[in-house]
Chain A
């Protein structure tokens, strides 16, 4: 009896595998429709979900077929197998947000060797084997946050950075942009603390309380993502401290915090536009207009409680499905 069940299960699994393989083989359509593969950096992140929407809409408009996948962790050991599976599905072009600038070179070289051109979005790799790169540059986002915070504080005062994890390229770039900009442009502003909260709001809350105890004249904080900024807000709020808190991205949770006045401003990237632009570049490639293919830097905008209802700003807020 047991053996029968096991045999039955095995057959089911095999059947499943074959049908998947069959489905996979069918994806490279024979009718001339182009297929684009989009590999996200983090499938659970609103930023990439919004980017997927941008990619999808432009694909629909131009009549391309789209296949999408991405790792649930920001981890090249998880993104690599996804890239390899995508090669087997034979798309005509791949759009990818590589999660590591060096580690993802080899997997993407394989893609290129298989005759599939690559466009990188958001992040990039350190070797020019891609057609072009479409990004909104976290470095520039950090600079924008520094400029805006400086303006809010009259270009003077002590500020703190709340970072997430050591070695994550995007958040490190945001912090670096912020630091470099302050150092270069605002001599009267001083960064008194630069700590990591490991994406734990509760840790960020306790850390910023200690920072504030040491520097009671702390004038503003830049939290590099949702958890950092919301944790900072929570920690300061419970001590009755009300100073400008800057966040990054425009996921629904950040926007809610902005609307509630928990945080004061946030750097909004334009993932939908990045996605749409990447597909546009793909179309140039398909149509043989390769001279039109170029790197694009998409500008960030800053949302505050005052401008968040302006459709010119709110249209960039991220979507979650």
Chain B
């Protein structure tokens, strides 16, 4: 009797470790930082870590749906930049006509709708023209980078109302920024969408086996289009939030962040072969990438080491995940 309970406990514990081992990796990294620099325990440290994580997380939450369908969306960073410029230009041109409030609302709406439209186009190219997601979104990313430059001759959009900066830099509890709050909220909402709804189940089903998903009667094309709209829509949200935070629409925004967002998913256990991935994992993945920046700065190490360490962790995480999968199959 006792022996059986023991094995049960052991089994449960083993399950927790295999399921949440990436959390342990995160705690390990954090522990090292704390030992070397106790200031990493402080609330402001978490504040700046969260603020940097927010952008990666928002993009990661969206692109994760795509990755679970065994796809990829390389256009999310450029969506951010192009949307920021488009939203900024809309706000600036409407300002004299409708005043601050409506101009900001209209500009944000234009930005978000543009994001959804781009996602829709990505989805159409992938499902109707049957292009591989890598190619379709690579093409889109180049188009958008160019568009971002064309819209305002490659310049930042300035002269936006100051009140946007007030909203964008609003903080609660002295450390959690506006963008962070939205990022956490989005993580919960999309986590529920992924885990608790038919939409989520279909996403996993398609990623595991596209053929059987089709045979099971899922309108596959429609579903894929929606998934790319989520990815692109979240990138647009992030683009609009950046305009709020910095009072500027910049075509350079998002130039580097695409791969970090995908890395956050992968580190968190989302399989690029599709069919697998959890929202909590993506959250931890984004947190690891962010803390490698803020933590290494605290230690006085130059941040390009953050790129090296992030790369190492991607490889390590995926390798460990493979081993775990093999064990599970046995």
A residues engaging B (CB < 8 A)? Answer: 43-46, 49, 72, 166, 192-203, 205-207, 209-211, 213-214, 226-227, 230-231, 234-235, 237-239, 251-253, 256, 260, 320-321
Q: Contact between A209 and B290 (Cβ–Cβ < 8 Å)?
A: no
Q: Contact between B158 and A44 (Cβ–Cβ < 8 Å)?
A: no
Compute how far the CA of A238 lies from the CA of B149 in the bound complex, rounded to whole angstroms: 30
- Residues of A near B276 (CB, < 8 A) are none
Q: A206-B290, A234-B169, A234-B245 are in contact. Are A252 and B297 (CB under 8 A)?
A: no
Q: Contact between A44 and B245 (Cβ–Cβ < 8 Å)?
A: no
B5 CB within 8 Å of chain A: no
| B252 to A, closest residue via Cβ | A199
Compute how far the CA of A30 lies from the CA of B297 in the bound complex, rounded to whole angstroms: 61
- Residues of A near B295 (CB, < 8 A) are 210
- Residues of A near B149 (CB, < 8 A) are 44, 72
Q: Contact between B158 and A198 (Cβ–Cβ < 8 Å)?
A: no
B75 CB within 8 Å of chain A: no
Please tell me which one of the listed residues A196, A239, A252 contacts residue B304 in the complex, with CB atoms under 8 A apart. A196
- Residues of A near B154 (CB, < 8 A) are 43-45, 72
Q: A211-B297, A256-B158 are in contact. Are A202 and B48 (CB under 8 A)?
A: no
- Residues of A near B251 (CB, < 8 A) are 44
Q: Contact between A207 and B293 (Cβ–Cβ < 8 Å)?
A: yes
Give the number of residue pairs across the A-B interface with Cβ within 8 Å: 117
Q: Contact between B51 and A202 (Cβ–Cβ < 8 Å)?
A: yes
Compute how far the CA of A198 lies from the CA of B146 in the bound complex, rounded to whole angstroms: 19
A45-B154, A202-B51, A209-B294 given. 4 additional CB < 8 A pairs? A195-B303, A201-B242, A206-B290, A253-B156
Q: Contact between B297 and A230 (Cβ–Cβ < 8 Å)?
A: no
Compute how far the CA of A240 lies from the CA of B149 in the bound complex, rounded to whole angstroms: 34
Compute how far the CA of A213 lies from the CA of B297 in the bound complex, rounded to whole angstroms: 10
Q: A201-B246, A235-B48, A321-B153 are in contact. Are A193 and B300 (CB under 8 A)?
A: yes
| B43 to A, closest residue via Cβ | A213
In residues 161-203 of chain B, which contact A (Cβ within 8 Å)? 162, 169, 171, 177
Compute how far the CA of A195 lies from the CA of B302 in the bound complex, rounded to whole angstroms: 5
Q: Contact between B248 and A230 (Cβ–Cβ < 8 Å)?
A: yes
- Residues of A near B146 (CB, < 8 A) are 72
Q: A207-B293, A210-B45 are in contact. Are A234 and B298 (CB under 8 A)?
A: no
Please tell me which one of the listed residues B39, B51, B155 contacts residue A205 in the complex, with CB atoms under 8 A apart. B51
Q: Of the listed stretches B17-25, B107-115, B253-261, B321-329, name the one at the interface; the rest are far from the partner chain.
A: B253-261
- Residues of A near B7 (CB, < 8 A) are none
- Residues of B near A231 (CB, < 8 A) are 246
Q: Contact between A206 and B303 (Cβ–Cβ < 8 Å)?
A: no
**Interface residue count for B (Cβ, 8 Å)?**
44
Compute how far the CA of A3 lies from the CA of B149 in the bound complex, rounded to whole angstroms: 35
Nearest 7 Cβ contacts at the A-B interface = A44-B154, A209-B48, A206-B52, A210-B297, A206-B48, A210-B294, A253-B156
Shortest distance in angstroms between A201's beta carbon and chain B's nearest beta carbon?
5
| B154 to A, closest residue via Cβ | A44
| A320 to B, closest residue via Cβ | B155
- Give 10 pairs: A residue, B residue, CB < 8 Å, sorted on A: A200-B252, A200-B257, A201-B250, A203-B52, A210-B293, A210-B294, A210-B298, A214-B298, A251-B156, A320-B153
- Residues of B near A205 (CB, < 8 A) are 48, 51-52
- 0/1 interface trace, chain B 37-55, chain A, CB 8 Å (1 if under): 1010010110111011001
Shortest distance in angstroms between B242's beta carbon and chain A's nearest beta carbon?
7
- Residues of A near B55 (CB, < 8 A) are 202
**Most-contacted residue by chain B among A46, A195, A213, A237 (CB, 10 A):** A213
Please tell me which one of the listed residues A43, A227, A239, A252 contacts residue B158 in the complex, with CB atoms under 8 A apart. A252
Q: Contact between B48 and A213 (Cβ–Cβ < 8 Å)?
A: yes
Q: Contact between A194 and B302 (Cβ–Cβ < 8 Å)?
A: yes
- Residues of B near A46 (CB, < 8 A) are 155
Please tell me which one of the listed residues B153, B242, B248, B300 contacts residue A253 in the complex, with CB atoms under 8 A apart. B248
- Residues of A near B139 (CB, < 8 A) are none
Compute how far the CA of A193 lies from the CA of B251 in the bound complex, rounded to whole angstroms: 28
B101 CB within 8 Å of chain A: no
